């Protein structure tokens, strides 16, 4: 597929915007369409030379849009639209497969599916790995994102389209996209500190999350896309089902260390009264501070796609995140 028609859902957002900027460099001949949900986002994307479609991420919008494209890279659903929208995308691409080169779907989810623990306790138990299909299959549909992920996995099993799931933990760093520049978790810890005069973590702060810099995450999406485009005929072996779920985590952090670094950086700037960080009870945080849970996972597949993470670690980039 020398010049594929690519649809990006969520290109005005943090991850989608960073991906779009790099996609324009690596696939200059591609015909790229972006979906935005507000008129204010249109002038952010138009100057990049991409097609901009204004609409919702509901099934009746994303289904017909997907039907006109060879590749759908989805950063917006399941965060909007839900399983009905995911099903509409899949059905449209499977219908397109009858008359076009095998379409590609790259679907985004978070690792809330495998949250464990509370109150900032240190994690216990075995890490999740993206090469354990039976373990992922056994998760109930009531787990975060699982029902939608299962729809994509079943599409991969049918083999009419090349369907992949990229699941990510904490995403950090300043994005290069035309819209949103920062993620969710670190900014909410920063906002809480500014509002309350000191940075704070949940409980003991020993809970652990994986992490990936947004630039490294973008390079993984590009690696998955390259793999899918180079292997359009593959429908068996490692190209099926849960084997097409890829975990993007590179490093790990406990929140006490990260939030302490946030507190020190804000104090040095004169934006909070005290350096460091204090403990607050579960349930008293802000937004995406995510309580005191952990996500323990490891990536076994990404580097086999030629992915080479290069970014600095999360603590090293805290100051840049605060500035953004």
Mind listing the pLDDT tens digit for each residue in 152-199? 999 999 999 999 999 999 999 999 999 999 998 999 999 999 999 999
My answer on whether omega of the bond before 78 falls inside 30° of 0, hence cis, is: yes
Per-residue pLDDT at 236 exceeds 50 = no
Q: Which uninterrupted H or E stretch holds 298?
A: strand 297-298
Average pLDDT of the residues in 197-217: 96
For residue 237, name the pLDDT band (cuts at 50, 70, 90).
very low
Please state, in angstroms and as integers, the Cα–Cα distance from residue 98 to each residue in 2, 6, 29, following that order: 19, 18, 24
Q: Which two tokens stand for residue 91?
A: 């059905």
Average pLDDT of the residues in 15-24: 98
Q: What does the DSSP 8-state code read for residue 54?
A: E
Please state, in angstroms and as integers, the Cα–Cα distance from residue 42 to each residue in 23, 49, 96, 136, 305, following that order: 18, 11, 28, 38, 34
Q: To the nearest whole number, what is the mean pLDDT of the chain?
A: 93
Pairing verdict, β 251-254 and 208-213: antiparallel
Q: What per-residue confidence (pLDDT) applies to 213? A: 98
Give the 3-state secondary structure of residue 52: strand
Using CB atoms within 10 A of its CB, is residue 222 exposed (0-12), middle (13-18) or buried (19+)? Answer: buried
Cα torsion 314, 122, 165, 73: sign: negative
First-last CA distance in the chain:
37
Task: Please list the alpha-helical segments (H only) found in 121-234.
Answer: 133-137, 146-158, 185-196, 214-230
285-309 tens-digit pLDDT: 888 887 789 999 999 999 999 999 9
Q: Classify domain 5-113+126-172+211-247 by CATH architecture.
A: 3-Layer(aba) Sandwich (3.40)
Quick one: what percent of the chain has pLDDT higher than 70?
Answer: 97
Average pLDDT of the residues in 70-83: 90
Just give the CATH number of 185-209+251-295+308-323.
3.90.25
pTM, two decimal places: 0.95
89-136 tens-digit pLDDT: 999 999 999 999 999 999 999 999 999 999 999 999 899 999 999 999
Query: Per-domain residue ranges for the chain?
Result: 5-113+126-172+211-247, 185-209+251-295+308-323
Q: Which uninterrupted H or E stretch holds 205?
A: none
Q: What per-residue confidence (pLDDT) applies to 226? A: 95
Average pLDDT of the residues in 303-319: 94
Average pLDDT of the residues in 305-318: 94
Q: What per-residue confidence (pLDDT) applies to 2? A: 65
Please state, in angstroms and as integers, the Cα–Cα distance from residue 235 to each residue in 1, 65, 89, 243, 244, following that order: 17, 24, 19, 12, 11
242-291 tens-digit pLDDT: 999 999 999 999 999 999 999 999 999 999 999 999 999 988 888 888 77
């Amino acid at each position: 597929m020398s010049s594929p028609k690519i649809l990006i859902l969520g290109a005005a957002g943090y991850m989608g915007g960073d991906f779009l900027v790099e996609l324009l460099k690596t696939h200059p001949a591609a015909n790229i369409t972006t979906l935005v949900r507000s008129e204010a986002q249109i002038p952010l994307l138009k100057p990049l030379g991409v097609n901009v479609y204004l609409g919702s991420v509901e099934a009746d919008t994303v289904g017909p849009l997907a039907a006109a494209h060879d590749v759908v890279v989805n950063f917006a659903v399941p965060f909007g639209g839900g399983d009905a929208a995911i099903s509409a995308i899949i059905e449209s691409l499977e219908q397109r497969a009858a008359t076009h080169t095998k379409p590609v779907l790259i679907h985004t989810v978070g690792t809330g599916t495998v949250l464990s623990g509370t109150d900032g306790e240190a994690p216990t138990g075995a890490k999740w790995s993206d090469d354990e299909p039976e373990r992922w299959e056994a998760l109930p549909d009531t787990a975060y994102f699982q029902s939608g992920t299962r729809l994509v996995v079943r599409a991969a099993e049918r083999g009419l389209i090349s369907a992949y799931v990229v699941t990510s933990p904490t995403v950090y760093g300043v994005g290069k996209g035309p819209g949103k520049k920062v993620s969710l978790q670190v900014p909410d810890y920063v906002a809480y500190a500014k509002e309350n005069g000191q940075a704070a973590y949940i409980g003991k702060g020993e809970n652990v999350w994986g992490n990936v810099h947004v630039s490294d995450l973008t390079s993984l999406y590009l690696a998955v896309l390259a793999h899918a485009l180079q292997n359009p005929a593959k429908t068996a072996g490692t190209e099926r089902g849960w084997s097409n779920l890829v975990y993007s985590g590179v490093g790990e952090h406990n929140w006490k260390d990260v939030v302490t670094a946030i507190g020190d950086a804000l104090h040095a700037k004169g934006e909070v009264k005290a350096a460091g960080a204090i403990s607050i009870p579960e349930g008293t945080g802000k937004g995406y501070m995510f309580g005191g849970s952990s996500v323990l996972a490891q990536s076994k597949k990404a580097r086999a796609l030629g992915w080479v993470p290069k970014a600095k670690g999360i603590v090293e980039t805290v100051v840049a995140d605060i500035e953004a």
